[in-house]
Structure 1
Amino acid sequence: MQRTHQRLATPRAAGAAGVVFAILTAAAIVLVRLALPGGADGGDVTADAGQRSALRTALALLPFAGIAFLWFMGALREQAGEGEDRFVSTVFLGSGLLFVATLFAAAAAAGSVLDASGQGSGFGRHLAYALLTTYALRMAAVFVLTASTIGRRLGILPRPLVLLGNLAGLTLLVVGSNVPWSELVFPGWALVLGLYILRGRRPAPARPAAPA
């Protein structure tokens, strides 16, 4: 009975975590973009108090966004259960963990901008920008594509949401830093998926028991 209750509660946990992650990540990305409007070459953030404040707020949000994402990823994987393909699930899990690790590394590099000046500040800004727009976005793309693949194979995601996930994943994979604000595609996808789970997600159909 306890196991059944946990499985029925997992969809709501995944939906709530997805919404929290989307909101926190989007807010952090917007603050970073405002603090560094020119990207890696956006000037000296250490000379502007408003930019420093925006960047400091973004850095404070990112750890909580990472925690929410881990909860989101774990709850989604729990729903797949034993029916998930081992190869796809391994890529799903690995890309999610690498995304969080790269996101935290980008936050640490961005934090160095607040404590450095001159050449040190420029190095931290370029490193943070590269980690976020080149590596974190690619890992996010793989995560979205594999999550959509699992949802399609198990029949737990509707076709429009699968197509949206594939489009979002390909956009993150191909576009990267070439289009400003493209980083918002990932939290946007997570928000749509989280709201779908909260409003209409049904537990995966029960699988027939194995013959004795």
Structure 2
Amino acid sequence: MREQGPGQRALLTPRAAGLAGVAFALLMAAAMVLVRLGLPEGAGAGTAQGFTDSARRDALRAALALVPFAGIFFLWFIGAIRTHVGEAEDKFLATVLLGSGLVFTATMFVAAAAADAVLVVSHPAGVPPLPASWDFGRHLAYTLMTEYATRMAAVFVSSMSVIGRRLGVLPRRLTTLGFLTALVLLFAASNLRWAELVFPAWSLVLGVHILLASRRARTRPDEA
């Protein structure tokens, strides 16, 4: 809390908010990798026989357990980003940033629910799911993750990069990295395997930058 005026106080952003981007990046990357391992694509993936392997089921269960926490940290990450930008943020771009972030979170939750449906229809253990259920659930999960969630992530990254460049709140290298990340998410994520991992990688870099910037900002008044 800090004093604004007589009888008025404003909340300071918690120090832990700066870690939200790092936590989100690590959790989301782990969830994406585990989904890839648990619900494989490509030749032989559509047979559903491989899903009788307990290691794949355990990998998928672990991924589903991580997604809700990744979404929570992502919401904190959005708040940390807006705090880093400050009151000078462009309202149009800030709205696009917030909206795309919320849609990305919702889409990832739905993708996780689709993957959970594949997991549920696989019981009892050791018995493969019906081919139709397997194909539908697996395709739905991957479509949501690689077609829709990645596009929303691209909008989120590009709008943040534009804000950072216009207001000068991000280094030029970081804004360039953001534009490249957005291009990959827009045009390559649906065709190139593992391309969706560039979003948590970018989030990790941005989270570390915001964390270091917030620490420098907090130490300056103490030094003065």
Q: TM-score, normalised by structure 1?
A: 0.87
1:190 and 2:203 matched: yes
Within 5 Å, give how 1:53-92 maps onto structure 2: 53-92=58-97
Higher fraction of helix? 1
Task: Write the distance in 2 (CA, Å) between the matches of 1:40 and 1:61.
Answer: 27
Shift of 1:173: 0.8
Task: Write the distance in 2 (CA, Å) between the matches of 1:174 and 1:6.
Answer: 41
Task: Write the distance in 2 (CA, Å) between the matches of 1:19 and 1:166.
Answer: 20
Assess if the C-alpha contact under 8 Å between 2:17 and 2:77 holds in 1.
Answer: yes
Name 2:7's counterpart in structure 1. Answer: none
1:32 maps to a residue whose letter is V
1:180 and 2:193 matched: yes
1:51 and 2:56 matched: yes
Assess if the C-alpha contact under 8 Å between 2:31 and 2:62 holds in 1.
Answer: yes
Task: Write the distance in 1 (CA, Å) between the matches of 2:90 and 2:43.
Answer: 39
Q: TM-score, normalised by structure 2?
A: 0.83
1:96 maps to a residue whose letter is G
Q: Which runs of 5+ in 2 are unaligned?
A: 5-9, 122-128, 218-224
Assess if the C-alpha contact under 8 Å between 1:46 and 1:52 holds in 2.
Answer: yes
Assess if the C-alpha contact under 8 Å between 1:140 and 1:186 holds in 2.
Answer: yes
Name 1:32's counterpart in structure 2. Answer: 35
Assess if the C-alpha contact under 8 Å between 1:14 and 1:197 holds in 2.
Answer: no
Among candidates 98, 108, 112, match of residue 103 of structure 2: 98
Percent same amino acid at aligned positions? 59
Distance of aligned partners of 1:110 and 1:200 in 2 relative to their CA distance in 1, 3 Å threshold:
same
Name 2:221's counterpart in structure 1. Answer: none
Name 1:2's counterpart in structure 2. Answer: 2
Distance of aligned partners of 1:3 and 1:189 in 2 relative to their CA distance in 1, 3 Å threshold:
farther
Q: Which structure's CA Rg is the greater one?
A: 2
Task: Write the distance in 1 (CA, Å) between the matches of 2:56 and 2:21.
Answer: 28
Q: Secondary structure at the match of 1:178?
A: coil
